[in-house]
Amino acid sequence: MLRELFIENFALIDCLRLEFGRGFNILTGETGAGKSIIIDSVSLLLGGRSSVEQVRAGAEAAQIEGVFEVDSSPDLLRLLEEWGIVLGDDRLLIIHREINRSGRGRCRVNGQTVTVLTLSRIGRFLMDIHGQHEHQSLLSTVAQRQILDSFGGETLAQKAEKVATLYHQWQAVKDELAELVMSEEEKNQRIEFISFQLQEIENARLQPGEEETLTREREILAAAEKLYENASITYQQLYGMDEPGSVLDKLGEGMQALEKAAEVDATLQPLVETMQQAACQIEEVAREVRTYRDRIEFNPEALSQIEERLDEIAKLKRKYGQDISEILRYATKIREELATIEDQTARRETLTKKLRSLEEELTQAALALSGLRKVTARKLESTVSKELAEVNMAKTVFQVEISRTADQENGIPVNSEKVAVTKDGIDQVQFLVAPNPGEGLRPLAKIASGGELSRLMLVLKVIMAEEDQIPTMVFDEIDTGIGGRTAQAVAEKLLLLGLSHQVICVTHLPQIASMADRHFYIEKKTRGERTNVEVRALEQKERVEELARMLGGAEVTATTREHAQEMLLLAESVRVGKSGH
């Protein structure tokens, strides 16, 4: 249950701390006083969507914190353990939500940072919030099926999960089979096309790095004459052959002179040795240059062949890739595609058998789920009818219709016909209602008034709360479209729900407010240029005044006060009668 709620800089709230109790908690106030702001803040604690517009004007961030007392909930405790969230001996769960004007926010559970998705998963075990317009969701057949499935409990959930798993497997095989099935003409055209491409690439016998090697060879062959000329000049200058005045000749003359000088001054001998080494190195360079010159080919035919090969590679690059490696990868790809197409007959037979087997499994699982839904539907009808009688709808007939839709093209075989199937099975679920005797059953969307929808939603919430063991129920203006005896009946139903759950309810009806165990009054106050929403828990005398206001509107009289006191006495007697103490 929610023990404490702290709100700061959220919407019109400056700073607010509320302490909720067990049982039935009521929030009342003038229209527009900000009652729904409280519910919005609670919704954020449960992973609801936030907006920077929710941050109070002038503040940088809004802070919302809830202290929850966790009862025995094995599923919740298991999740908390998986996420590493420690629950102390006090069994308190402190959820903190921060909304920054910058757009970034933070969520923490017992001090540990979590995602909004994690918060929403935790929230499902703590509270169920019924907003002002949520009863309209009852008009959706999808929502009606979800209610029926939830009422079926874990057994139905397991059967539904099996159907969903088989459906996805069946659909995946269908999709793969559809991709394999192509006309013979399309298949032959594709085979011919990619076979031509593959043959063209394979005939080229491409080698990785070949283009780079050929490019270098082309550059050398194209420059052969210039290379020969330069190598000859270099050799002539270094060695000179029969011509005097080469580098080696002049170096020899210089070395002879230096040797004579070294005979006189021995310190010159190292220089003589250095010149000797230089002469040897220059002579070696001259020999290497001559060898290189003699190897140079003047081969226009080889150059032409290289040009042709590079041109062939360029054409393949334009068709199949930016370089040889990419062309070879493309060849591998189409080779595999060709093998797949040629082998598709065997693959198609395999998939067809697999599809038939999965279809049989899916049909059996869907029929089992459908059968359990029908049994569950009868139980839900009985339970809803009993609960409706307690909210002044005893004569209303409620029925759950389960039907199927034929689908000869994409359905699964059921009793000699094909019916539509989804991950949720083969059933279409629809709630039918006859509000008054003599009226035929009609879909809920076509017959129910706002007040009837509100009461039916209340009844379903009460039923599902018992099934799901949700500790806290929040109702934001559940009283839409009701009054008089019906309002009294709804009030008593909420009081009864409060005996086993914590109930937090925003209401405009004094009949409902009078049943509360704890009554909060919300008002909007303006000081200077700032407006603030304030909330306070009412004492007995203040409750009389508030109920009198709700009864009489703007003018509170002795009569309305007396009526308010009578309502509180009646509420107490009802509480004693329902609870036995």
Question: DSSP secondary structure string, 461-491?
Answer: HHHHHHHHT-SEEEEESTTTT--HHHHHHHH
Q: Tell me, yes or no, whether 286 lies in a domain.
A: yes
Alpha helices in 130-209 (DSSP H): 141-151, 153-180, 184-204
Nearest to 302 by CA among 190, 217, 392, 387: 217
Domain span at 218: 201-338
- Sequence letter at residue 129: I
Q: Tell me, yes or no, whether 135 lies in a domain.
A: no
pLDDT of res. 461: 79
pLDDT of res. 581: 61
pLDDT of res. 421: 95
Nearest to 225 by CA among 308, 297, 333: 297
Q: Tell me, yes or no, whether 131 lies in a domain.
A: no
pLDDT of res. 359: 94
Q: Tell me, yes or no, whether 309 lies in a domain.
A: yes
Q: Tell me, yes or no, whether 569 lies in a domain.
A: no
What's the rounded Cα separation, in Å, for the pair 376 and 119?
31
What's the rounded Cα separation, in Å, for the pair 540 and 140?
43
CB 151 within 8 A of CB 463: yes
Total structural domains in the chain?
1
CB 56 within 8 A of CB 10: yes
Q: Tell me, yes or no, whether 207 lies in a domain.
A: yes
Q: Tell me, yes or no, whether 45 lies in a domain.
A: no
* The length of the chain, given as a count of residues: 581
CB 109 within 8 A of CB 134: no
Per-position pLDDT tens, the chain of length 581? 899 999 999 988 889 899 999 899 999 888 777 778 888 899 899 888 888 888 898 888 999 999 999 877 788 888 888 888 888 888 899 999 999 988 888 999 998 989 899 888 888 888 888 765 555 666 788 888 988 998 998 899 999 999 999 999 999 999 888 877 766 677 788 888 999 999 999 998 988 888 888 888 777 776 666 776 677 677 777 777 555 667 777 787 788 888 888 778 888 888 888 888 888 888 888 888 788 777 766 667 777 787 788 888 889 888 888 889 999 999 999 998 888 777 777 778 888 999 999 999 999 999 999 999 999 999 999 999 988 888 888 888 999 999 999 998 889 999 889 999 999 999 999 999 888 777 788 887 776 566 677 778 788 877 877 666 778 888 887 776 677 788 888 888 888 888 888 999 988 889 999 999 999 999 888 887 788 888 899 999 999 999 998 888 767 888 888 998 998 998 888 888 776 66
pLDDT of res. 580: 64
pLDDT of res. 420: 95
Q: Tell me, yes or no, whether 136 lies in a domain.
A: no
Helix (H) or strand (E) holding 285: helix 269-295
pLDDT of res. 389: 85
CA–chain centroid gap for 233, Å, is 76
What's the rounded Cα separation, in Å, for the pair 327 and 296?
34
Beta strands 502-506 and 472-476, pairing class:
parallel
What's the rounded Cα separation, in Å, for the pair 265 and 84?
92
Nearest to 384 by CA among 324, 309, 466, 297: 466
